[in-house]
Structure 1
Amino acid sequence: MREEGGSPNLRVAACGYWRRRGLPTETAQVVPARSADLLLLALLAATPDRVYVPAPGPVRHLAQALLLGRAPHRLPTPAECGGVPDPFALLEAVRRDRAAGLRPGVLLLSVVDDPTGTVPPPELLHEVCEAAAGEGLVIVSDESLRDTSHDPHATVIVSPAEILHPNGADAEDVVVLTDPRAAPLPGAEGAEGPGAALARFPATARGEARAGAVRHVLDALDAHAGDARAVARALEEPVELRAEAEAAARAAGRHTGALSRAVAAAGGVCRPPQAGRHVYADLEPLRPQLAARGATDAATLEAALVVRLGTGVLGGHRFGDRPGALHVRLTAAAPAAPAPEHRDGHEALARVEAALADLTGHSSTGSRR
């Protein structure tokens, strides 16, 4: 068995990336894989028992658990954000599962949520992590979108591995995942050559054992990362790439902000996006108007918007949300240029405004301020 997958440069670059974010890391703690899906699949395969996920949540979190035949326990998110479950709902779910003879195992969460583009406040994340740790759950923290904050000075993003860090020791049961190609960041997304996703395991005996089990699964899948030089360079964060990444995140913030205003102007609601390039629209207040156009649930709403917009639309049912709810994720343009007047971004927003107006009977408004 290969003890460590991926090139040494990739693992060294990952160590530097995490150290700069307050997580001291050695190469033995880093496990790379060819893709985030394969890495998460290996991690869940090596960590048995019940999986808990906030819903709505990332498609791949649900997909990998279902692929292993382990239907995840979907938990409601708090009113203020996505990415984490309501801590009281988590505790109640774990206790009910134990009473039913099930063994709670893993909580999957995200420090930046896809689909909503929101960030759990540190105090809420702390409460969720304490609840999970108190119940003996392994916390898998997906931090792939951590570096896409629209305004880093206004949004505090922390890792469960920072929160559960007693007396300087490593958090015993927190595994951090990152997929450099998940974010619209220069140097990683769309780069030539093989990709890689990475997991950081605790520097403890239990963490070492879990990392070894994941490597065994990756061996069986032949899914270890190769010499992913573009990913390693992105993780090293040279000055020019970091400046481009920050400009791209600011531009995404402008466009998602305008997109959320367009949803509000049409009569829908959504949580204000703080990171990433998506908004999650709740069009339930517009049910009568949408029903008149044949959109009565998430799937038919998605279909109606795909006809009008093409790609960039996914119904809430794909994220584990209630299929009957009129929820949809909309994607803002990811402009290559940071200027707010970027033509492609304005055209994409205008198409969204026109589609919502057509479906709801509202006139398009000037949300591109």
Structure 2
Amino acid sequence: MADGTVSPNLALNQLVAQRRAEGDPIVHLGFGEARLPAFGPLMEGLVGAADRNAYGPVAGGLAVRTAVAGYFGRRGLPTDPDQVVVAPGSKPLLMALQLTAVGDLLLPQPAWNTYAPQARLAGKRAFGVPLPDECGGVPDPAALKETIDAARTLGHDPRVLVLTLPDNPTGTLASPALIREICAIAETEDLLIVSDEIYRDVVHDPALPVLSPAEVAPRRTVVTTGLSKSLALGGWRIGAARFPGGPWGTRLREGVVSVASEVWSTLAAPMQAVATYAFDEPAELRAWRAKAARLHGAVARAVHGIMVSAGANCRPPVGAFYVYPDFEPVRERLAKHGVTDSPSLFQHLLDVHGIAVLAGHHLGDSRQALRFKAATSMLYGDTEAEQQQALDAANPVALPHVKQVLATLEKSFNALCA
């Protein structure tokens, strides 16, 4: 993104805000924000720590690093506080990793639109690898091996593999068997795994197994997370990373801390207080987070049903708050509306139907494909009162304001595919 352009999801969010200010009734599905009011105790903690205005350790204070270590330990990853770094969001940590780790990037295709630009900013190449049929967030194992071999034949040096569990943009979760297969390739090919697990606590069904690559390949996996998605704190910017034990992990962590010292200095002290409370996971916070995950699942499944009924292929969402429909089965019908590729699908939905989505080609997908990401978390209401009502509802899709916007989507996509 060194050409001066803004990241496409942020640019789209600004465009929608402008269009709405001009009076256009846009249904916004193009921005991955957990559109919910902040949990009360988190706000109280932030206010209570507002007097903490001194700089602190670059990696974060011991209290917050201990809390993050406990968070990972409860997920099967025993962690020492000295393996942890906190930062103003997980995005800076991912960038610092790109600046620190040696080698080009391998990533699923499609993938979150930040990974590849960060690699390019770090002077690296990014190699997209197609997804397996059953999920996103990980590359197809056979295609991964082929991509590594082809890149090395051409003189490139792919050594960093990004995985997303659960996945943005597909809302799916890779199975434990698939994670083990990917980790075996990483071991054979000597790859560093960066496991972006910011949506781990947004799995819709708590019984669904989540296997972190750090459990399978502990010495070569860095895990990143944050509070933007599971606790709807995107604007507060709180992220954390867990580094492997041993010399390689220590060198990576030292490199990231070095970058941090020149870029963001430290996570703001009030935010460290919030993070300490959040990563300690008291019972009342776990209950709020579980309620949010149920809401995310209910609305994502409703939007998935609308897309499939209209004629799209779409993997069923099981985590996060996205669906990633493919309208290839109805390409001929869409062509009657002048829709022939990803950009024209985006433009038609925005201009004709007032629906904003993130076009698939911004996520590394083919420009000719008829795919996009829809962020279903934007449908909970335009006011905090409506959002709170959705969060508290046993059946949020039956609420009048949610039901109305879902009906609008259904009408629009049925008309598009007629």
- Which of 351, 358, 365 in structure 1 is aligned with 2:408? 351
- Offset, 1:224: 3.0
Counterpart AA for 1:195: R
Counterpart AA for 1:112: P
Change (3 A) 1:197 1:264: same
Richer in helix (by share): 2
2:220 is the counterpart of 1:173: yes
Partner in structure 1 of residue 233 of structure 2: 189
Distance 1:68 1:24 in 2: 31
Partner in structure 2 of residue 39 of structure 1: 93
Distance 2:404 2:102 in 1: 47
Which piece of structure 1 moves more, 342-351 or 235-244? Answer: 342-351
Distance 1:19 1:344 in 2: 40
Q: Is the 8 A contact 1:6 1:226 kept in 2?
A: no
- RCO higher in structure (CA 8 A, sep ≥6): 2
Aligned residue for 2:325, secondary structure, equals strand
Please give the residue correspondences for 1:132-171 in structure 2 after superposition, counting only pairs within 5 Å: 132-153=186-207, 155-164=208-217, 171=218
Change (3 A) 1:13 1:310: farther
Which piece of structure 1 moves more, 20-29 or 235-244? Answer: 235-244
Counterpart AA for 2:216: I
2:282 is the counterpart of 1:238: yes
Q: Is the 8 A contact 1:33 1:198 kept in 2?
A: yes
Distance 1:223 1:344 in 2: 43
Q: Is the 8 A contact 2:312 2:325 kept in 1?
A: yes
Q: Is the 8 A contact 1:109 1:140 kept in 2?
A: yes
Partner in structure 1 of residue 174 of structure 2: 120
Q: Is the 8 A contact 1:10 1:232 kept in 2?
A: yes
Distance 1:312 1:158 in 2: 33
Counterpart AA for 1:51: L
Which piece of structure 1 moves more, 300-309 or 231-240? Answer: 300-309
Counterpart AA for 1:46: T
Distance 2:393 2:71 in 1: 24
Distance 1:231 1:359 in 2: 44
Q: Is the 8 A contact 1:297 1:325 kept in 2?
A: yes
Structure 1 unaligned segments of length 5 or more: list them.
Answer: 165-170, 362-369
Distance 2:286 2:369 in 1: 39
- Which of 32, 55, 69 in structure 2 is aligned with 1:15? 69
Partner in structure 1 of residue 47 of structure 2: none
Aligned residue for 2:365, secondary structure, equals coil
Partner in structure 2 of residue 338 of structure 1: 393
Counterpart AA for 1:79: D
Partner in structure 1 of residue 258 of structure 2: 216
Structure 2 unaligned segments of length 5 or more: list them.
Answer: 1-55, 381-389
Counterpart AA for 2:224: L
Aligned residue for 1:199, secondary structure, equals strand
Distance 2:121 2:392 in 1: 39
Aligned residue for 1:275, secondary structure, equals coil
- Offset, 1:35: 2.0
Q: Is the 8 A contact 1:312 1:331 kept in 2?
A: no
Q: Deviations over 1:290-342 (max 9, x none)?
A: 12222211112112223356565111111111111000111223443333123
Please give the residue correspondences for 1:8-87 in structure 2 after superposition, counting only pairs within 5 Å: 8-87=62-141
- Offset, 1:8: 2.8
Aligned residue for 1:198, secondary structure, equals strand
- Which of 305, 312, 320 in structure 1 is aligned with 2:349? 305
Q: Deviations over 1:225-270 (max 9, x none)?
A: 2221323322221211211111111122111111111111111110
Q: Is the 8 A contact 2:297 2:318 kept in 1?
A: yes
Aligned residue for 2:324, secondary structure, equals strand
- Offset, 1:127: 0.1
Change (3 A) 1:240 1:53: same
Distance 2:179 2:148 in 1: 18
Distance 2:60 2:356 in 1: 32
Identical pairs, percent: 36
- Compute the RMSD of aligned alpha carbons: 1.8
Q: Deviations over 1:50-76 (max 9, x none)?
A: 100001111121231132232300000
Change (3 A) 1:231 1:195: farther
Distance 2:338 2:265 in 1: 43
Partner in structure 2 of residue 104 of structure 1: 158
Q: How many residues are treated as equivalent by the alignment?
A: 348
- Offset, 1:98: 2.0
Change (3 A) 1:190 1:328: closer
Q: Deviations over 1:269-304 (max 9, x none)?
A: 100100111100001111122122222111121122
Partner in structure 1 of residue 243 of structure 2: 201
Give structure 1 regions of 4+ aligned residues with deviation exceeding 6 angstroms. Answer: none
